[in-house]
Amino acid sequence: MIRYHPPGWQPYGFGQRMAAEWQKQLAEAVRDPAELLRMLDLDPSLTEPAAAGRQFPLRVPRAFIARMRKGDPGDPLLRQVLPLAAEMQAHAGYSSDPVGDLASRAAPGVLHKYQGRVLLITTGVCGIHCRYCFRRHFPYAQEHARQQGWAEALTYIRADNSIQEVILSGGDPLSLNDEALAGLVAELERIPHLLRLRLHTRQPVVLPSRVDDRLLAWLAACKLQKIMVLHVNHARELDSDVATALARLHSTGALLLNQSVLLRDVNDSVAALAELSQALFARGVLPYYLNLLDPVQGAAHFEVPEPQALALMQGLRARLPGYLVPRLVREVPGAPSKIPVSESAFATPAGG
């Protein structure tokens, strides 16, 4: 079960007495599904309050709501955040830890699944709650790396010189304040075998005010090679404020990549995926992964069957230059990497 910080909780560090604009906006995120539907001129009966309350509450910043179309219950941005009755149905094969995260825990908040890189669960807090999230049941309260001021996580990374890259993840690492992040990054820079720092974050997209001078200062100063993997599922998530935020991130020297999740009735068409790749590239971001949905309890209504996913990829390749085609992957517990989903898996043997 996930325990959330109470509404209004703010991750201020000492020396940062004034809330930054993004922190105010995070505190003002909409948490009431009925309010969200009212803002969009939609019928409040579209949502399932029990789904929102029991497992994974609604949370969506107003900056993201502003990009939704009023009066459209099928809006692809709304679908990503609105709790539905379908979440309450149990489905065979859907579990609460679909990617084996708990088994790959190497130290508190450290997931070491793949050679050369470790993933740090820096926080359980996100700026938005995505209904399909594979970590919606992850026990963050016990499992983030910051409990002892990062000490155990840092000890683990220092002791293993095969680790070249640290991935700050969560939750969303950019839910933490910049003092906390700058302090962690300063410690990481002192570890001689580390070459790269990666951030997995949706915050610059859902809350572009997060990309402020404080963030840019430590990021630009970081001596490690920087990669930021954003998370955008639909071209309409990219408005002009996001474009400005991405341009500023680009100016720090960070490589900007994107990962998406293939989601039924959000981006499951060649047109939507092609438009997303083009819109990302126009803002300096390269498509990286297109993830098949992880079979997490409560998300089965987002599933796109594998043969359909492969057909979409074929359509994309026929339409876009190779560098705009993301890699279709799935996560398999215990595997040494994300697994490419390939057409050969569906080739039927002769006579079969």
Ligand X SMILES: *Cc1c(COP(=O)(O)O)cnc(C)c1O
Q: For residues 65 and 232, which CB has a smaller minimum distance to ligand X in the complex? A: 232
Binding flag, residue 145, ligand X (CB under 6 A): no
Q: How far is the CB of 199 from ligand X (least distance, A)?
A: 12
Q: How far is the CB of 135 from ligand X (least distance, A)?
A: 10
For 1, counting Cβ atoms within 10 Å of its Cβ (0-12 exposed, 13-18 middle, 19+ buried), the class is: exposed
Exposure string over 12-43, b if 16+ CB within 10 A, otherwise e: eeeebeeebebbebbeebbeebbebbeebebe
Q: Which of 30, 58, 119, 341 binds ligand X (CB under 6 A)?
A: 119
Q: What, of ligand SF4, ligand X, none, does residue 309 touch, CB below 5 to 8 Å by kind?
A: none
Q: What, of ligand SF4, ligand X, none, does residue 219 touch, CB below 5 to 8 Å by kind?
A: none
Q: What, of ligand X, ligand SF4, none, does residue 202 touch, CB below 5 to 8 Å by kind?
A: ligand SF4
Binding flag, residue 337, ligand X (CB under 6 A): yes
Q: Which of 65, 68, 84, 167 binds ligand X (CB under 6 A)?
A: 167
Q: How far is the CB of 58 from ligand SF4 (least distance, A)?
A: 11
Q: For residues 60 and 163, which CB has a smaller minimum distance to ligand SF4 in the complex? A: 60
Q: Which of 59, 113, 131, 234 binds ligand X (CB under 6 A)?
A: 113
The binding site for ligand SF4 (CB under 6 A) comprises: 126, 128-130, 133, 135, 170-172, 202, 231
Binding flag, residue 330, ligand X (CB under 6 A): no
Residues making contact with ligand X (CB under 6 A) = 111, 113-114, 117, 119, 167, 337-338
